Amino acid sequence: MEIAQAVDSTLLILDDETVRPTIQYRYVGEEWPGVTRWQEQDLRDNGYTPMMAGVIALAQMRMGRPRPVEEDPQLWRFESANFNLLLIILNRVLNPNRAPFIRALLSAALEEPPLALAERNSDFPSWNGNSSGLGLLAEFCIRTGHSQVFFDSTHQVKAPSTAVAIMVRQIEEIFALNFTIFSEAEVETLPEHLASLRRVAYQQTYWANSTSPGEPPIGNPDYIEGLEHEGQEIVKSIDAITAQCKQARYFYLKGALQETTNLEVESDKTKVIGFLDSLGFDPLLTASLAKAESLYSASSDAFDLKSCLGHIRSFYEHLNIDTGLAIAKALGKSVVDEWDPTLTFLKNNSFLSMQQDKFARGLYALLSDEGVHPLIAQREFARLLRNMVIEYGLMFLTMLDKKGVKLK
């Protein structure tokens, strides 16, 4: 798909999102959401489940500012029908054209931000009686690895607006519920990236500014009458994000010091799942990884970890085999539907280097030795092999994406 066509199609989807928002975060935890635990018995008596209570919890969480950052980002799942459509468009753009496409899209969307009156009683992400597709645009850019381009584009904003306020509020939502979408380095630099937008909002909010204590106020030449409310909301939102960044940095530090959940690996796992969906892999592959994660998180003994490693091995095996079969079919060639012939095919056709092939085979051998032959598995081995498979998957899928490989 050409860049101009992709931009036009994406803007059309953002316009629809403005009128009929599809963004939502759904609670998928098994325990009751923390902020509703004091209401648990009443909610149970009225037939609520933890997932249903998540709707109430999210409404309560949105009332605070800065919003608390959810330490476990697995509890809230982002969903949006229009986001899925945007992924399809992105995958139809040739890889070398994707960064220019994102830049052109952001330029067009911020030049004329989509805005519409929100439906009556509509909730987040609408604000001030309006809704905008810029919230979806923020999610799209950040979740597809284009956060740097996205934040750079905010420098072109010359005046506060309702649409931009909605966009920044959506970033608050991402941080509160799925903060590991941002790497630790991105968390540290995010306030700096938003400084230009905050400055614009602040300067165009107030008419009178004092150059120094004791001096009379002077007129602000950047002041735009009627935009005080929008400017204040953007400033408050960015200040809240700055506070959230501090809390997120603490969670990254806590995870590193306790050596429990590796938040960088959790972030990479989210990217792996995104690639599996966008590149057309069989949904059973994603389900296999999800089952392994469920066993790993809730393991009560070494037998659960043994089952976890079995699913991880199956995921890893079929990730490579399914890829090899799809590439062979696209090239008009054939390959035996087995591990060893598939790896050899990928190496011989330059989809794996010699060293990558050796690493892949070594990891498979280790998975087989620890995950198949022993009766039980130790948690140290399960953690190591699980993390290695996730990181290999990210490397492998990123390579496929850059080469334009699609399984369907």
Q: Which three-class secondary structure state does DSSP give residue 219?
A: strand
Amino acid 375: pLDDT: 46
Top pLDDT among 179 and 37 is at 179
Q: How many CB atoms lie within 10 A of CB 80?
A: 20
Nearest of 378, 373, 395, 365 to residue 296 by alpha carbon: 378
* C-alpha separations of 370 from 233, 256, 304, 315 in Å: 54, 25, 13, 15
Tell me the three-class secondary structure of 44-105, residue by residue. Answer: HHCCCCHHHHHHHHHHHHCCCCCCCCCCCHHHEEEECHHHHHHHHHHHHCCHHHHHHHHHHH
Query: Which amino acid is located at 201 in the chain?
Result: A
Give the pLDDT confidence of 67-122 residue by residue, as tens digits: 999 988 888 999 999 999 999 999 899 888 999 999 999 999 999 999 998 876 66
* C-alpha separations of 205 from 109, 160, 199, 201, 230 in Å: 23, 8, 10, 6, 8
Cα angle value 328/332/338 (rounded, 5°): 30
Q: Which three-class secondary structure state does DSSP give residue 398?
A: helix
Per-residue pLDDT band at 376 (split at 50, 70, 90)? very low
Top pLDDT among 197 and 222 is at 197
Top pLDDT among 76 and 262 is at 76
Length of the chain: 408
